[in-house]
Structure 1
Amino acid sequence: MIVLAHGVGEVRGLPLPGELVLQTGGVVVLASFLAVALLWREPRFAAVAPGRPPPPASAPALAPVSRESATSSARVGTFDSASARFGQAAMLLLATAVVVFGFLGPQEDEANPAPRVLYVLLWVGVVPASLLLGPVWRAVNPLRALHRLLAPLRRRPPAPLPDRGYGPAAVGLGAFVWLELVAPARDVPAVVATFLLLYAVIHTAAALRHGPTWFDRGDTFEAYSSLVGALAPVEWHGGPRLRNPLRGLAAVPPARGLVAFVAVWWGSTVFDGLSGWPGWATVRAALPVPGVVVGTLVLVALVGVVALLYRLATGRLAAALAPTLVPIAAGYTIAHYLTLLLVEGPRGLAQLVAPLHGLGEPTAVPDVVLVAAVQIAAVLVGHVVAVVVAHDRCVALLPPHRRLADQIPLVLLMVAYTMVGLFLLVIS
Structure 2
Amino acid sequence: MTGGVLAHGVGSRHDLPLSPFYAFAGAFTALFVSFLALGLLWSASRFRGDEAGQPVPPLLQRLADARTTRHALRGLGLAAAAFVLVHLLLGPDDPERNPAAGTVYVLLWVGLVPASLLLGPVWRLLNPLRTLHLLLCHARGRDPGAGRPVPARVGLWPAAGGLLAFTWLELVLPEPGASGALLLFLALHAVTQLAGAVRHGSRWFDHADAFEVYSGLFARLSPLGRRPADGRLVLRSSFNGLDATPQAAGLLATVCVLLGSTAYDGFSDAPSWISAVQTSPLGRTAAGTLGLLGAVALVAALYALCAGATRLICGPLPHPLTAFAHSLLPIALGYLVAHYFTLLVTEGPRTVMMASGADSPVAPEPPLGPGGLAVLQVSAVVLGHVLGVVAAHDRSVRLFPPARAVAGQLPLLILMIAYTIGGLTLLIA
TM-score normalized by the length of structure 1 = 0.88
Find the partner of 2:130 among 141, 144, 159.
144
Structure 2 residue 179 is the aligned partner of structure 1 residue 192: no
Query: Residue type matched to 1:411 in 2?
Result: L
Alignment-derived partner of residue 57 in structure 1 = none
User: 8 Å contact 1:227–1:326 — kept in the other structure?
Assistant: yes
Alignment-derived partner of residue 7 in structure 1 = 7
Alignment-derived partner of residue 47 in structure 2 = 45
Secondary structure at the counterpart of residue 92 of structure 2: coil
Secondary structure at the counterpart of residue 309 of structure 1: helix
Residue 363 of structure 1, CA deviation: 0.5
User: Measured at CA, do residues 279 and 8 of structure 1 come closer, stay the same or move farther in structure 2, by a change above 3 Å?
Assistant: closer
User: 8 Å contact 2:4–2:174 — kept in the other structure?
Assistant: no
Query: Residue type matched to 1:139 in 2?
Result: L
Identity of aligned residues (%): 43
Query: Residue type matched to 2:7 in 1?
Result: G
Query: Residue type matched to 1:341 in 2?
Result: L
Query: Residue type matched to 1:127 in 2?
Result: V
After TM superposition, list the pairs within 5 Å mapping 1:325-344 onto structure 2: 325-344=328-347
Secondary structure at the counterpart of residue 174 of structure 1: helix
User: 8 Å contact 1:80–1:139 — kept in the other structure?
Assistant: no
Which runs of at least 4 in structure 1 moved beyond 3 Å after TM superposition? 3-6, 76-81, 152-157, 236-241
Structure 2 residue 373 is the aligned partner of structure 1 residue 358: no
User: 8 Å contact 1:8–1:187 — kept in the other structure?
Assistant: no
Alignment-derived partner of residue 117 in structure 2 = 131
Find the partner of 1:160 among 134, 146, 149.
149
- Structure 1: distance between partners of 2:25 and 2:279: 33
Residue 176 of structure 1, CA deviation: 0.4
- Structure 1: distance between partners of 2:48 and 2:417: 23
Give the aligned CA root-mean-square deviation in angstroms: 2.5
Structure 2 residue 106 is the aligned partner of structure 1 residue 120: yes
Query: Residue type matched to 2:359 in 1?
Result: G
Secondary structure at the counterpart of residue 361 of structure 2: coil
User: 8 Å contact 1:79–1:138 — kept in the other structure?
Assistant: no
Alignment-derived partner of residue 249 in structure 2 = 256
- Structure 2: distance between partners of 1:6 and 1:289: 24
- Structure 2: distance between partners of 1:77 and 1:294: 52
User: Measured at CA, do residues 149 and 20 of structure 1 come closer, stay the same or move farther in structure 2, by a change above 3 Å?
Assistant: same
- Structure 1: distance between partners of 2:416 and 2:65: 37
- Structure 2: distance between partners of 1:160 and 1:78: 31
CA deviations 1:204-243 (Å, max 9, x no partner) are 2211211111111211111111110111122246775432
CA deviations 1:26-64 (Å, max 9, x no partner) are 2211221111111100000155xxxxxxxxxxxxxxxxx
After TM superposition, list the pairs within 5 Å mapping 1:218-367 onto structure 2: 218-236=208-226, 241-315=234-308, 316=317, 317-354=320-357, 357-365=358-366, 366-367=368-369
User: Measured at CA, do residues 242 and 322 of structure 1 come closer, stay the same or move farther in structure 2, by a change above 3 Å?
Assistant: same
Alignment-derived partner of residue 380 in structure 2 = 378
- Structure 1: distance between partners of 2:226 and 2:147: 28
Q: Using CA pairs below 8 Å that are at least 6 residues apart, which structure has the higher relative contact order?
A: 1
User: Measured at CA, do residues 188 and 80 of structure 1 come closer, stay the same or move farther in structure 2, by a change above 3 Å?
Assistant: farther
Residue 86 of structure 1, CA deviation: 2.2
User: 8 Å contact 2:4–2:177 — kept in the other structure?
Assistant: no
User: Measured at CA, do residues 93 and 332 of structure 1 come closer, stay the same or move farther in structure 2, by a change above 3 Å?
Assistant: same
Find the partner of 2:194 among 204, 209, 224.
204
Query: Residue type matched to 2:147 in 1?
Result: P
Relative to structure 2, which stretch is displaced further, 11-20 or 138-147?
A: 11-20
Residue 77 of structure 1, CA deviation: 12
User: 8 Å contact 1:170–1:261 — kept in the other structure?
Assistant: yes
Secondary structure at the counterpart of residue 235 of structure 1: strand
After TM superposition, list the pairs within 5 Å mapping 1:16-27 onto structure 2: 16-27=18-29
User: 8 Å contact 2:4–2:175 — kept in the other structure?
Assistant: no
Residue 401 of structure 1, CA deviation: 1.8
Secondary structure at the counterpart of residue 225 of structure 2: strand
Alignment-derived partner of residue 169 in structure 1 = 159
Alignment-derived partner of residue 63 in structure 1 = none
CA deviations 1:165-188 (Å, max 9, x no partner) are 110000000100000000122111
- Structure 2: distance between partners of 1:77 and 1:198: 37
User: 8 Å contact 2:8–2:171 — kept in the other structure?
Assistant: no
TM-score normalized by the length of structure 2 = 0.87
When the two structures are aligned, how many residues end up with a matched partner? 401
CA deviations 1:95-126 (Å, max 9, x no partner) are 12211211221000011111111111111111
Query: Residue type matched to 2:213 in 1?
Result: A
Query: Residue type matched to 1:351 in 2?
Result: M
User: 8 Å contact 1:178–1:296 — kept in the other structure?
Assistant: yes
